[in-house]
Structure 1
């Protein structure tokens, strides 16, 4: 409902935002399903190998279009480019390791941290205009998150309370 309200207010369908949301949600689901069978390092290795052809094509495209800057734009630039892999890999390893240990619901709730930070920066630092439709959509998303959180707490408490049969104790 929140997306529908924002789309109506915006006047166009947010293809990029929804594609990113669904793709990362799907990624989290796959990591959760495969997680017990594959450790974090093996999983990241398989992901990297699967994406290697895509990366090679993209690197070739960029090389032909604008040129490669590795080693040509100064030492600091080269060091930053070479460290980009580790800066990317470490959070992915931590995510893969953590995704196996927590329920998918928790992973879903954690995915709202980055948008909250982006929202705060957009509104309070960059002074992005907030239309009425955006505020309504924002409120609907938070209402849904509150309902989900309350339901999760109730469900976890329900599972902790195991009824004891008095006849078995005798």
Structure 2
């Protein structure tokens, strides 16, 4: 299964978590890593190139820090421009049908803050509902979330273990393969 990981972090060089995740993924040449902020520092997205990348992979993972209960701005712009009507959804928009979509998210807040009784009042599953619905609309199978909470308190050993778990997540067999 060809896997594309789209890394969307506006300050990747300063991100201990997302940078470590990406470095661990780079050990596996069968994973294509695509860094949006590096590719498009001017914010001008090459839609045809992005669509071609998506078409040539079976599994797409969006990797990002959770900003204001959503994705970083360039990833949202990417969604708006790349997942276009007639290509990703709507009449003739079937180019992603049958592919898989997963999310790898890092959060500042601890895990217990993402509960109905926690500080944020909602679970990560609830807060990512718009991305789940995007997956439904574009015809992809939505994978379980991969989340690392409380990133400020993660030790180097915990991060190393988590990065290996992330690779396992990226390579997890789909239900149709298992």
TM-score interval (norm. to shorter): under 0.3
The structure whose RCO (Cα within 8 Å, separation 6+) is larger is 1
Higher strand share: 2
Q: What TM-score, normalized to structure 2?
A: 0.26
Q: What TM-score, normalized to structure 1?
A: 0.27
Higher helix share: 1
